[in-house]
Structure 1
Amino acid sequence: MDRTAKDGGGRALSPWARTLALWAVAGAVFGVFNAVYWPLRAAAPPVSPLRPFQPDPAAGPFGLGGWAVCALAGLTALLVTAAATPLCRRLALRLGVLDHPTESRKVHGAAVPYLGGLAMHAAFLSALLSVQAFAPAYSHPLFYPAAAVGTAVLLLGLADDAMGLPSWLKLAVELGLGVLLYHWGFGVRELQAPLGGVLHVGWLAVAVAALWLAGLMNAVNFIDGLDGLAAGLAALCAATLLAVGLRNGQVISAVLMAGLIGAAAGFLLFNFHPASIFMGDAGALFLGFVLAAATLVEEQKGAAVMALAVPMTALAVPLADTVLSFIRRLRRAREGRFFEADRRHLHHRLLALGLGHRGAVLALYAVSAVMAPIAWVVDTLDPARRYPLLLLPPVILTAGVVALRYFEGQRGKQSKQ
């Protein structure tokens, strides 16, 4: 990416100047969120014990129930993203935050502005505010930590988009944010045993939260290689988790997922091929963060949910791509190239087979859509019956990778003839 830019007066902006300018914009957005959120929270009436997602007058002036609350959050996020994305595109062009196709792994032919993540961040915060304003019974104290740590994730991504950061530094900050999120109330403290019962994670809960957060953030970042791919996959995964959350009365995770779906859907209006704006690291890391936070909510760890099994099934495609990437990086580690990116991600390989940009994206959409009903069924089964079903996603993905290698081999033979 080009690391030089000019302001309106034609003066060159240093990478640090661009980073500080972007941080100022993100800080202003978060400041507006705080200015609206805290008065709304202070004015909200005391909430009596309420069955999860059942219509009740305490839910707000409209007596909103679960689906309506999530629809409110999702629609708010969609509208805000649709309105904010063109503004973020202008800002990116003005500051010179552009993705130039200078690396071999890039697949676009011309410079494209970043900062889609800034629009999705503003939309997500707006979704939380809409719930606090119109359905305070379904707001939750954990919404604020999600907004605060999410803003920190955005700042990390904006710095990387504006000036580039060492991979090891980004990973260290991501792990640190995972620890912070855990201490703020998010985390897996108990796991269901294969044959029933509960396993207490103990002090390992901090490590689980940090690794899960960093893993999902990087999974979405790795898969963000084609127009519309990361946003679409994140929305599909979030839709699965939203449906599971609504069925189980998981208020926090359902609202977070509704906000993510709306933000991603609004961004896709501008990001599907041919994209006029990219989400950048800021957007990819932020989407991964919201997915991770929603799956680390304590309310999820009931009899119907086996800790991280359901989200791992729903997120099978980006997680599989991350595992394959990690294996390749381990092989390169002997040469000191562990953090070096390559062009062997699943979407790159599908593109090389001749599927085309949209074809490769739609193919991965389809695989992710297949995982949705599996995740739904896993959530309904008792522990003894759900574990065998959890073998199905790895089998499907392994078969897909084997088939991919076969077709790559056939294409290689044809090219030599």
Structure 2
Amino acid sequence: MAIFFVVSFVFFVSLFLTGGLRRYALARSLMDVPNARSSHSVPTPRGGGVAIVSAFLGALPILAFFGGLSWTSTWALLGAGAGIALLGFLDDHGHIAARWRLLGHFLAAIWALFWLGGLPALELFGSVFDLGWLGNVLAAIYLVWMLNLYNFMDGIDGIASVEAICACLGACLLYWLGGFENLMLAPLVLAMAVGGFLYWNFPPARIFMGDAGSGFLGIILGLLSLQAAWVSPKLLWVWLILLGVFIVDATVTLLRRLLRGDKVYEAHRSHAYQFAARQYGRHVPVTLAVAAINVFWLLPLAGCVALWGMDGTLALMLAYLPLFVLAVRFHAGELENA
């Protein structure tokens, strides 16, 4: 009953706070006005991600106080999440140079890794490897990439929210079935916080998340994957599989733009999901397709790793192969007139 009360409270806080933020944005003309790099066609209020941040971070001390989350994980999530959200909020309302944003991203990652204990041992093809200090460097890069790719992928209505909810609820289901119930609360609470926001963000969106929300979701999801890996190395592969849609699209797009010599820090519309949305003329089919891929392809493969002992590296490659084909099919990273 206590868990039900907490997750319900988080959902409704996010739901009503997003509505309040929308009214505030309309009153103050805080609008995302369409331009040549936009995937929307009408001015839309922005900054709704603050509701996700507030609802989730506000619940963390409660979970820790009642033993549902360790205090070390709580401080990692609180400090890194609040820092990234604040940085994104300031960038949403002005402009912060890319080098200073990147510095802030790495400082948040370092803070979180300090509390989590760095990168746990990795399981590769049945062998376990402890990478030591190199692992911590790779973990910091991983967290920074996760928060940036989530920002890149938050480009059409509902897609970032649906991805986060599918990944979190999928992880919760596998935790419950696999005997890792102690890991369930944080992703469940995050899913409820995003769910309240999604009511307003589902196509056609009435408010956008903004960098404060997308970067926050990226680093929190990355931290949840590392927290789980400390309990069992195979759970890192579970999270990487569940987040495969975003990881593959963003990575293929970045690599192709780098090879072409583009300025990768500039706004663009060359992700596969953006090409797909333009091809179908609506955001709904693409957002629902992401949900379907998560439920019917990625979740079963993640379950093979978590529940039936399938090698995580092999499952990841199998999971990503059709996603790579889809990314190429929908022109990820190509010039926008493709």
Q: TM-score higher than 0.5 here?
A: yes
Match of 2:98 in 1: 167
User: Is the Cα–Cα contact under 8 Å of residues 77 and 124 in structure 1 kept in the other structure?
Assistant: yes
1:251 Cα offset (Å): 5.6
1:219 Cα offset (Å): 1.9
What is the CA–CA distance in structure 2 between the aligned matches of 1:92 and 1:251, rounded to whole Å? 39
Structure 2 residue 169 is the aligned partner of structure 1 residue 239? yes
Match of 1:263 in 2: 193
Match of 2:160 among 207, 210, 230: 230
What is the CA–CA distance in structure 1 between the aligned matches of 2:51 and 2:130, rounded to whole Å? 39
Structure 2 residue 306 is the aligned partner of structure 1 residue 372? no
1:248 Cα offset (Å): 4.4
Match of 1:312 among 240, 251, 254: 240
Task: Write out aligned runs for 1:105-124 (5 A).
Answer: 105-124=37-56
How many percent identity over aligned positions?
28
**What is the DSSP-based 3-state SS (H/G/I as helix, E as strand, rest coil) of the residue aligned with 1:192?**
strand
Match of 1:180 in 2: 111
Say if 1:290 and 1:100 are closer, same or farther in 2 by CA, change over 3 A.
same
Deviation string, structure 1 residues 259-314 (Cα, Å, up to 9, x no partner): 110011110110111111111000101111221111111x53355x4262111100
TM-score by length of 1: 0.73
1:349 Cα offset (Å): 1.0
Match of 2:59 in 1: 127
Structure 2 residue 17 is the aligned partner of structure 1 residue 84? yes
Number of residues of Structure 1 aligned to a counterpart in Structure 2: 332
**What is the DSSP-based 3-state SS (H/G/I as helix, E as strand, rest coil) of the residue aligned with 1:164?**
coil
What is the CA–CA distance in structure 1 between the aligned matches of 2:6 and 2:293, rounded to whole Å? 27
Moved over 6 A (4+): none
User: Is the Cα–Cα contact under 8 Å of residues 140 and 252 in structure 1 kept in the other structure?
Assistant: no
Say if 1:404 and 1:128 are closer, same or farther in 2 by CA, change over 3 A.
same
What is the CA–CA distance in structure 2 between the aligned matches of 1:245 and 1:89, rounded to whole Å? 35
Say if 1:84 and 1:345 are closer, same or farther in 2 by CA, change over 3 A.
same
Match of 1:338 in 2: 264
CA RMSD of aligned residues (A): 2.4
Deviation string, structure 1 residues 345-385 (Cα, Å, up to 9, x no partner): 122111222252211211222222221111111122436x4
1:92 Cα offset (Å): 2.5
Say if 1:139 and 1:402 are closer, same or farther in 2 by CA, change over 3 A.
closer
Match of 1:151 in 2: 82
AA at the equivalent of 1:317: V
Say if 1:235 and 1:186 are closer, same or farther in 2 by CA, change over 3 A.
farther
237-246 or 262-271, which deviates more: 237-246
Say if 1:326 and 1:168 are closer, same or farther in 2 by CA, change over 3 A.
farther
What is the CA–CA distance in structure 1 between the aligned matches of 2:31 and 2:235, rounded to whole Å? 40
Higher RCO structure, 1 or 2 (CA under 8 Å, sep 6+): 2
Structure 2 residue 223 is the aligned partner of structure 1 residue 293? yes
**What is the DSSP-based 3-state SS (H/G/I as helix, E as strand, rest coil) of the residue aligned with 1:344?**
coil
Uncovered stretches (5+) of structure 1, i.e. residues with no partner: 1-61, 413-417
What is the CA–CA distance in structure 1 between the aligned matches of 2:166 and 2:276, rounded to whole Å? 20
Match of 2:289 in 1: 363
Uncovered stretches (5+) of structure 2, i.e. residues with no partner: none
What is the CA–CA distance in structure 2 between the aligned matches of 1:276 and 1:172, rounded to whole Å? 32
User: Computing the radius of gyration over CA atoms, which structure comes out larger, 1 or 2?
Assistant: 1
1:111 Cα offset (Å): 1.8
User: Is the Cα–Cα contact under 8 Å of residues 174 and 210 in structure 1 kept in the other structure?
Assistant: no
